[in-house]
Amino acid sequence: MRALLGLAGQVNGTNLDENPSLGGVPAYIRGALRTTLPTSLVPLCQPEGNRPACTNFRGPMSGLRSVHCEWIWAFPRFHLPYNPSMNSKRLVPFLFFVPLLLLITHAARAQQDFSKVQIKATKVAGSVYMLEGAGGNIGVSVGEDGIVIVDDQFAPLAGKIKEALKGISDKPLKFVLNTHFHGDHTGGNVEFGREATIIAHENVRKRLQEGTAVPGGEVKPAAREALPVITFNDRTTVHLNGEDIRAIHFPNGHTDGDSVIFFPKSGVVHMGDDFVTYGFPFVDVHNGGSVSGMIAGCEKVLAMTAPDVKFIPGHGPISTSSGLRKYVNLLKETRALVAQAAKEGKSLDDMKKARLLVNYEDLGKGFIKVDGWLDVLHADLQHKPSADALYQKHGHEDEK
């Protein structure tokens, strides 16, 4: 059955951790069963908009109180609640239950598409708009010379995105700028690359062209049409619509290929996923990201921009300089707490048990939980990021 479903998993009952989020279950087996699945298979907990909503599933087998599902890209990780009396024999029914669950989720997934996604256009300032749909926010610059977009979400949404662009301007699309390589920002490249020139940092092209390893699997190389045809190492400028649109590389923040896009005439900046407004950010440590780099990049952007600039975040509503400054303070404050605790000799488990970030728990109600953020901060301070441990899906349906 494991061969039939392509299931590769392992049971590990030695790594226990307190988990107050599981409704009274004091501890669970972290990484009890890790599956490596085709990207078409996803958990039953489907996203609400851009936010994943996870559910506890009740297991029919004796001794198993619940099954908890977490997002990790398109790959689910299942956790078995800890039960001291549970031995390896009692895990056998679970191994039969998992394939059944996967078949159900596969059927649910097959029924889902992007048909219900609506693309919403909002004017930000000057000649710049923002499109919201499923995936990263799209920046749009319009004028007599044509259209420039920043990121393009998912390929199945290309038609809807084009219709939204027609509602803003009847001019042709000329350029696509990618802020980084993640599929919720570049998935539409394969469609838009047929009619416009794609521009990105050289690491974006490299990861799209070669593919990259991710926890639980790998990202396959992108189609030729999806690859940026113009790349840069530090910065580049697109002169269009009377606007000097600047793409500047800020290294090792969200990934190692991040670019922030400046629209100086309109007073707008598209931050990509170096800045989000949904709570704790996702840091792709597996692909060169770091909290330190994210802080440094955001602080540099603030130093480069006027107080009245509008910011398009990678995800979430339009923000301001004040909002970005609060975000930087969040990163710095939480990192300082972890650094001080580590200096006092406290382990990562000690920090979690003591609820070190209790004053920030409201920010962990989304898909980056408090404990997950602690993991990232602790690894960042030690300069020993563990991609398998730290990578979490960050709100992107069918992310690649």
Separation CA 26–CA 291 (nearest Å): 30
Please enumerate in sequence order all residues whose Cβ is within 8 A of that of 71, keeping only pairs 6 or more positions apart, or say none. 43, 45, 52, 54, 367, 392, 393
Q: How far apart are CA 322 and CA 358, in angstroms?
A: 23
Residue with the bigger pLDDT between 306 and 36: it is: 306
**Residue 244: per-residue pLDDT:** 98
Instruction: Tell me which of 102-106, 137-141, 210-214 is least confident.
Output: 102-106
Cα–Cα dist 122/316, whole Å: 13
pLDDT at 137 over 70: yes
**Percent of the chain scored above 70 by pLDDT?**
66
Which two tokens mark 264? 């100086």
Nearest Cα to Cα of residue 258 among 147, 182, 155: 182
Whether residue 285 is predicted with pLDDT greater than 90 in this model: the reply is no
- Helix locations, the chain, DSSP H: 2-5, 92-110, 158-166, 183-186, 189-192, 202-210, 291-304, 321-343, 348-353, 370-382, 387-390
Q: What distance in Å separates the CA atoms of residue 8 and residue 86, rounded to the nearest whole number? A: 22
Amino acid making up residue 356: L
Q: Which residue has the tokens 């004053």?
A: 359
Beta-carbon neighbour count of residue 88 at 10 Å?
Answer: 8
| pLDDT value of position 371 | 94
Strands 235-240 and 243-249: antiparallel
Q: What is the DSSP pairing of strand 197-201 with strand 173-177?
A: parallel
Q: Say which amino acid occupies 11.
A: V
CB 280 within 8 Å of CB 357: no
What pLDDT is attached to residue 78? 36
Whether 289 has a pLDDT exceeding 80, the answer reads: yes
Tokens of 139: 């920046």
Residue 383: the pLDDT is 64
Q: pLDDT tens, 302-316? A: 999 999 999 999 999
144 burial (CB, 10 Å; 0-12 / 13-18 / 19+) is: exposed
- Report pLDDT for 12: 33
